[in-house]
Amino acid sequence: MVANEFWAEGEPVVDKAAPDGPVETRWERRKFSAKLVNPANRRKLTVIVVGTGLAGGSAAATLAEAGYRVKSYCYQDSPRRAHSIAAQGGINAAKNYRNDGDSVYRLFYDTVKGGDFRARESNVYRLAQVSVNIIDQCVAQGVPFAREYGGLLDNRSFGGTQVSRTFYARGQTGQQLLLGAYQAMERQIGLGNIEMNARHEMLELIIVDGKARGIVVRDMVTGEITTEFADAVVLASGGYGNVFFLSTNAKGCNVTASWRAHRKGALFANPCYTQIHPTCIPESGSHQSKLTLMSESLRNDGRVWVPKRAEDCQKPAGEIAEEDRDYYLERIYPSFGNLVPRDIASRAAKNVCDEGRGVGPGGLGVYLDFADAIKRLGRKAVEAKYGNLFEMYERITGEDPYETPMRIYPAVHYTMGGLWVDYDLQSTIEGLFVVGEANFSDHGANRLGASALMQGLADGYFVLPNTISNYLANGPFPAVSETDAPVVEARKEVEDRIAKFLSIDGDRTVDSFHRELGQIMWEYCGMERTEEGLTKAIGLIRALKEEFWTRVKVPGKGEELNQNLEKAGRVADFLELGELMCIDALHRRESCGGHFRAESQTSDGEALRHDDEFGYAAAWEYFGADGKPTLHKEDLNFEYVHPSTRSYK
């Protein structure tokens, strides 16, 4: 098998923190068995938290409230600007306020099934359990969720679920939740319990005596490199969707914090699991710097179509007669129609565009048409429901969706993979914890809509603060000093790398490499993957990496605000991650969740999973830039929700 050329296989990885017994009681029992830290001792313990999104912000605030000393870092100028701010749709919680049959068990069930049976049951159950506390906590902080006339919280159904369990704040749920966590953080900063370091980027992890004890950071304003120490390190640095260059993520989202930890021994799990969102605004040209998500709710009333014949694609939509239009989702999936899950809608769009029937620039788009909805409900009603989205669309494209159908195309949106963690959210490096989108988490091979916000806040407010105490109870650990060999070495690695970037002085910009990497990833490791394509991509990425290290041009100095130097570090890490993603995708010869392997499909073109062969999480160990990554499997057992096949026909 071609595989062994690319990877080696090692011992299975085992979650030693996993509790057993009935799933409903596992979290209670883990909390009870976890060691506690005496309140008087908490002052003596320092925790570094990298990231101030929902996961990091909530963790930092909660740990500080508990009495620990916290040092926080983010690359933006304020913790309030973390990428979580951009989440639109909502947050799930099993409150069952609608009395529509929802329950912790149902949310658990939906999440395991939605993740295509590639997540841990214990973790998912816990997530569903604490989801109810999140809403209570956020309301107490003053998060202005949407309410009904009676003054109670409103809920909606999201992403095709049969119950209404999604809480929301107009189209700005992430913003409001993040401001809640940010304000709680600022309160602790004001009280002197959190030391906030905005515009500071973590560039290396410091490990002393096998334990994560600190980080190397660069002050992004002065360029000063410092080493920071603590008793434990928490990474809350978000997802890595920007490996594709074009994604719905904020421009600065990156994998560096996770990747540096991976290089130092933390296993990276399921890197190939990415989520591609079907309703984004298509690219408009070579200047495109990112893609904008349009809320999924649009598919409730919009009808997706392309011309039946490729010759018609250049014509204005209005000139294409009804009988010449192919409402392909309604045709292929008569029972779910335009509301099929994200991965299915995305792949179907790609297929019709590959057939040459795409619309708009480059033929990379499909129509999302509201003409019928306007006829049926009236323009006013459509405006009331989607007015702000239509406005946003018009602002970006210059087209009026009331008159001409919207054009949409899939874009990378979320990454389910991330650093491997045990039930306590501890990575394979002792004392290194990972929360939020940065860990490989609870979503398996695919995430349900409105569940990332839930997971970020679950991890930060309720899970980590309870599990990290078990570790910190063994501290304070012996003091670390600037002159300890591992500290000197970590610092030197950072300084050498910066010096190297600045010295190459080649003839290509950092962005040009990033774009090219993104194209390779999108083409071969995007919606549909094949053995041939992935093998090719690995070769292309290796060549690109070599070229990067000889031809990149990074202007300016290290001792100043230097945005290209920041980007260079991130792209260098993305190049390594991209290769691992392709290797992971190559090794997984099945289709599951967000990962569709063309060789593994049913006779009618649907995803075909192989539970017997691939019913595990793939955790990869780093083996040097040129060595082979080593696969460690974590077997997944399903005691409650038994693997079944998804069907939307």
Ligand X SMILES: Cc1cc2nc3c(=O)[nH]c(=O)nc-3n(C[C@H](O)[C@H](O)[C@H](O)COP(=O)(O)OP(=O)(O)OC[C@H]3O[C@@H](n4cnc5c(N)ncnc54)[C@H](O)[C@@H]3O)c2cc1C
Q: Which of residues 530-569 bind ligand X (CB under 6 A)?
A: none
Say if residue 550 is exposed, middle or buried (CB neighbours under 10 Å; 0-12, 13-18, 19+).
exposed
Integer angstrom CA distances of residue 252 from 74, 239, 321, 541: 11, 11, 44, 21
Output the CA torsion sign for 175, 61, 434, 492: positive
The amino acid sitting at 292 is: T
Which listed range, 75-83, 360-368, 465-473, 516-524, lies at the site for ligand X (CB under 6 A)? 75-83
Among the listed residues 50, 94, 233, 583, the single contact to ligand X using CB under 6 A: 50
Neighbour-count burial for 82-101, b at 16+ CB within 10 Å, e otherwise = bbbbbbbbbbbbbbbbeeee
The residues, any chain, with a CB within 8 Å of residue 208's CB and separated by 6 or more, are 214, 480, 484, 486, 487
Which listed range, 41-49, 69-77, 485-493, 624-632, lies at the site for ligand X (CB under 6 A)? 69-77
- Return the axis-axis angle of helices 121-141 and 104-114, rounded to nearest 10°: 120
Residue among 114 and 238 whose Cβ is closer to ligand X: 238
Binding to ligand X in span 388-417, by CB under 6 A: 413-414
Tell me which of 342, 407, 491, 529 is the catalytic residue.
342
In the shown chain, the binding pattern of residues 266 to 295 toward ligand X, with x for contact by CB under 6 A and - for none, equals: ---------------------------x--
Q: Does 90 bind ligand X (CB under 6 A)?
A: yes
Which listed range, 86-94, 346-354, 420-428, 531-539, lies at the site for ligand X (CB under 6 A)? 86-94
CA pair distance 370, 387, nearest whole angstrom: 12
Among the listed residues 15, 48, 60, 84, the single contact to ligand X using CB under 6 A: 84
Among the listed residues 19, 56, 410, 444, the single contact to ligand X using CB under 6 A: 56
386 binds, among ligand X, other proteins, none (CB under 5 to 8 A by kind): none
Q: Which of 343, 474, 646 is nearest to 36 (CA)?
A: 474
Is residue 531 within 8 Å of 598, Cβ to Cβ? no
Query: Which two tokens mark 451?
Result: 């569940």
Helix (H) or strand (E) holding 643: none
Chain position whose Cβ is nearest to ligand X: 53
For the chain, give the longest Cα–Cα distance: 76
Residues in contact with ligand X, total (CB under 6 A)?
45
62 binds, among other proteins, ligand X, none (CB under 5 to 8 A by kind): other proteins
Smallest gap from residue 246 Cβ to ligand X (A): 12
Smallest gap from residue 81 Cβ to other proteins (A): 4
DSSP states along 29-68:
HHHHHS----HHHHTT-EEEEE--SHHHHHHHHHHHHHT-
46 binds, among ligand X, other proteins, none (CB under 5 to 8 A by kind): none
Q: Which of 518, 396, 436, 386 is nearest to 83 (CA)?
A: 436
Query: Which two tokens mark 619?
Result: 């955790």
DSSP states along 575-611:
HHHHHHHHHHHHH--S-BTTB-BTTSB-TTS-B---H
Among the listed residues 75, 328, 574, 596, the single contact to ligand X using CB under 6 A: 75
Residue among 141 and 157 whose Cβ is closer to other proteins: 141
DSSP states along 217-286:
EEETTT--EEEEE-SEEEE-----GGGGSSSSS-TT--SHHHHHHHHTT--EE-TT-EEEEEEEPPP-ST
In the shown chain, the binding pattern of residues 414 to 453 toward ligand X, with x for contact by CB under 6 A and - for none, equals: x---------------------xxx-----------xxxx
Residue among 233 and 534 whose Cβ is closer to ligand X: 233
Q: Which one-letter DSSP state was computed for residue 23?
A: G
140 binds, among ligand X, other proteins, none (CB under 5 to 8 A by kind): other proteins
238 binds, among ligand X, other proteins, none (CB under 5 to 8 A by kind): ligand X
17 binds, among ligand X, other proteins, none (CB under 5 to 8 A by kind): none
Residue among 505 and 546 whose Cβ is closer to other proteins: 505
CA pair distance 252, 567, nearest whole angstrom: 8
In the shown chain, the binding pattern of residues 448 to 487 toward ligand X, with x for contact by CB under 6 A and - for none, equals: --xxxx--x-------------------------------
Binding to ligand X in span 190-209, by CB under 6 A: 201-202
Among the listed residues 46, 62, 88, 346, the single contact to ligand X using CB under 6 A: 88
Say if residue 211 is exposed, middle or buried (CB neighbours under 10 Å; 0-12, 13-18, 19+).
buried
Decide if 342 is catalytic.
yes
Integer angstrom CA distances of residue 140 from 134, 143, 177, 185: 10, 7, 12, 15
Integer-rounded Cα Rg, in Å, for the chain is: 24
Q: Which one-letter DSSP state was computed for residue 25?
A: G
Smallest gap from residue 98 Cβ to other proteins (A): 12
Is residue 343 within 8 Å of 275, Cβ to Cβ? yes
Residue among 119 and 181 whose Cβ is closer to other proteins: 181
Among the listed residues 257, 374, 389, 592, the single contact to ligand X using CB under 6 A: 257
Among the listed residues 46, 129, 256, 297, the single contact to ligand X using CB under 6 A: 256
591 binds, among ligand X, other proteins, none (CB under 5 to 8 A by kind): none
- Residue entry with tokens 């980007």: 567
341 binds, among ligand X, other proteins, none (CB under 5 to 8 A by kind): none
Q: Which of 188, 177, 105 is nearest to 141 (CA)?
A: 177
The residues, any chain, with a CB within 8 Å of residue 381's CB and separated by 6 or more, are none
Smallest gap from residue 239 Cβ to ligand X (A): 6
Smallest gap from residue 280 Cβ to ligand X (A): 9
Among the listed residues 111, 173, 188, 270, the single contact to ligand X using CB under 6 A: 173
Smallest gap from residue 77 Cβ to other proteins (A): 6
Residue among 254 and 428 whose Cβ is closer to ligand X: 254
Residues carrying an active site annotation: 342
- Which residues of the shown chain bind ligand X in the complex (CB under 6 A)? 50-56, 73-76, 82-84, 86-91, 173-174, 201-202, 236-239, 248-249, 253-254, 256-257, 293, 413-414, 436-438, 450-453, 456
